Amino acid sequence: MRYRLTFVVGLALGYVLGTRAGRERYEQLKKSARQVAQNPAVRNTAETAAHQGRQFAGRAYHVVSDKVGDRMPESVASRVRSLRERSAHDGGEDDWGTSNP
């Protein structure tokens, strides 16, 4: 209950401070965020981080499933097998339509 109360107080405080800043400040922050997001260096960095994350997740998936495969409950093991088969047949494409080399 304490955490809920803290959340509600924080939400109310943010609302009050946000309304005092006004619409102009909101539009100013929105414009700045859009400029940062459209910066080529930021976009390249985000794409690189996403690619490295997919690579790491793919390696971790295989390592964990190889080490723990026999000790998992059958429902989980069958799901892992189906994911492996699907990734082998689909050319390594994951649920989001991105490749996972």
Residues 81-96: pLDDT tens digits?
Answer: 787 777 666 555 555 5
Q: How confident is the model at residue 98 (pLDDT cuts 50, 70, 90)?
A: low
CB atoms under 10 Å from CB of 94, counted, come to 16
Residues 16-29: pLDDT tens digits?
Answer: 777 777 778 778 87
Boundaries of every domain in the chain: 2-89
Residues 48-61: pLDDT tens digits?
Answer: 999 998 888 888 87
Degrees, nearest 5: CA angle 91-73-71: 85
CA distance 72 to 56: 22
